A and B are shown apart, each in its own frame.
Chain A
Amino acid sequence: MNRIGPQEAPAQPTEVHLEQATQWFLRLRERGQVEDLPGLQTWIDNDPLNKVAYQRVAATWSALGQFSVAPEVMVGRRNALDSARRAARRRWSAQRGSLSRYLAIAASLVIAVIGTLGWWYSQRGVFNTGVAERRALTLEDGSVVTLDANSRVRVQYERDQRLVSLERGQARFDVAKDPTRPFRVSAQDQTVVALGTQFNVELLGGNVLVSMIEGRVAITGVDSTVEASTASITGAKKKTPGAPGGAAVIELKAGEGLRVRGDGQGLVLPKIDVDRATAWQAGKMFFDNEPLASAAERVNRYSQLQIVVDPAIANVSVSGAFNTGDPNAFVEAIATYFPVQVDRTSESKIRLTSRD
């Protein structure tokens, strides 16, 4: 191709080029015959931009394939199947047989894909930290997982995805970007999909807390109906492609957080304090109106001496800054401000009960 000058931008395919390219692509893919090839060759010879357009269509097609098991796509696939099922039911109410065959094929594909996500759980690649221990793991792709004390992750890297399961405690993820291999963190039933980014995930009292440090993530498995009725959803974009009522995919940006309860109900936190969420790495803890039980759970990660909180005072709100690994200072502060009874009779436990 001769261009007028080296500075000139290469010509772009027009709508006509793209339209013809798409037609060729679909026709060849659906029912390509040797007889079609000369026509294709002629079309390509006619205009250099025809080939560029075709390549773009083909590249778009295959790029989408890389995301076929991404959470957004899984939600979209489920919605597509639901909607197709409704359309087919309206039309085929008298001929169930042939309809259910297609749907059975399609549904089994979805199940197979979901099934493979469960499979890796049983594999090796488990990393632990003990009490008061911190550990940074550099994974094979350059991603770094920093494990807080008393935490556990399971790492399973596959050809087309990178899976990490947080089974206990807390970890910070610094994800190396690789669009062809999505990085997924699962904690309880939630899955965080990262697109090359930094975030913190913590398991605390049956909740999953996600704090975005940089970049974006998508989170699936959160109950969208409850989620939608929550006022603070406005801070984050919620994506539910297709029919309403399906599982939501929540997208979080830097500075946003998400708290998901054990029952799958989620609350988006439009503005979190990122420094505080990651302060554990510098040996600091911050509590801001936090229930006493979960504050104690955090303190316990760093100490053999365990604080046990009586259920009657579990929901007392505590605030303050503490050094990790100093449970006594925490207990003293609590006892100073709240009507709490401190029982130190056990060697390994400090019991906090109501003074009333």
Chain B
Amino acid sequence: MKNPLASPNSSAADATSAPDSRAELLAHLDRRFRLPLLAYFGRRVRSAPEAEDLTQDVFERLLRSLESKPIANPEALVFSIAVNLLRDRWRRANTHGVAEPIPAEAVAEFVDVLTVDLSPERVVLGERTLEEAFSALDELGERTRTMFYLYRFEGLKIREIADMYGISASGVEKQLEKALMHLTRRLYQP
């Protein structure tokens, strides 16, 4: 399936240039994001009708935005409208109106919705547990393993680890990537 919005900037400009393509864009976004949005709201509100209302709100706001001006990245707009809707709703519910939901958390929830499958049979780790995990960790080089331990178990940030070792953050990220990829490969090898 080829994604019609592979290049969002140009297609968005086309989409907002005429009412027809605008409706087409909206239909496309609806097809693509309605289910993730329902799932997203479904996790954060109490009832299914409430999740449906919020999802409907997202598309109404999206339509208004598309009518008023050209949108550079309509897909990102879908997500930020959803996060903002939830934030507003939460702010209203909170009588003090002080605290804000943590955006990183809201993003993480969306990532879950987009990546989690309802049929997890190919994800289950099965019998491969502690022993496998740790023999896999032992196969890494000492520096890679150390960085991974600091990141995974001590909760240090990439930047903090980079400072300790005097290397760039992207250098640390490469090591962590190597470690996590190796562990995943080992835990899922047939």
Contacts and interface: CB of A to CB of B under 8 A. Distances in A.
A220 to B, nearest CB: 13
A92 to B, nearest CB: 8
A182 B78 CA distance: 43
Given A34-B79, A37-B110, 4 more contacts: A28-B107, A77-B149, A81-B150, A239-B134
A242 interface: yes
A55 B108 CA distance: 14
B176 interface: yes
B150 A10 contact: no
Contacts of B190: 12
A23 B177 contact: yes
Interface residues of B, number: 68
A38 B156 CA distance: 28
A102 to B, nearest CB: 5
Interface stretch (B13-21, B45-53, B116-124): B116-124
16 contacts: A19-B177, A30-B173, A32-B108, A34-B76, A41-B33, A45-B1, A45-B3, A55-B117, A55-B123, A80-B153, A83-B143, A87-B165, A87-B166, A88-B164, A106-B150, A106-B156
Contacts of A243: 142
A274 interface: no
B86 to A, nearest CB: 12
A106 B164 CA distance: 13
A37 B164 contact: no
A197 B110 CA distance: 40
A217 to B, nearest CB: 11
B137 A76 contact: yes
B44 interface: no
B163 A98 contact: yes
Interface stretch (A56-64, A134-142, A260-268, A319-327): A56-64
Contact of B107 (A34, A54, A99): A34
Contact of A18 (B3, B164, B165, B184): B184
Given A55-B116, A87-B164, A65 B145 contact: no
Given A64-B133, A91-B165, A34 B80 contact: yes
B153 to A, nearest CB: 5
A59 B123 contact: yes
Interface of B: 1, 3, 5-6, 8, 32-33, 36, 73, 75-76, 78-80, 83, 103-104, 106-108, 110-111, 114-117, 120, 122-125, 129-131, 133-134, 137-138, 142-143, 145-146, 149-150, 152-158, 160-161, 163-166, 173, 176-177, 180-181, 183-185, 187-188, 190
Nearest to B173: A26
B109 to A, nearest CB: 10
A236 interface: no
B133 A63 contact: yes
B190 to A, nearest CB: 7
Contact of A64 (B142, B156, B183): B183
A51 interface: yes
Interface stretch (A67-75, A278-286, A299-307, A335-343): A67-75
A91 B114 CA distance: 41
A105 B153 CA distance: 12
B158 A30 contact: yes
Nearest to A29: B108
Nearest to B110: A37
A33 interface: yes
A38 B107 contact: no
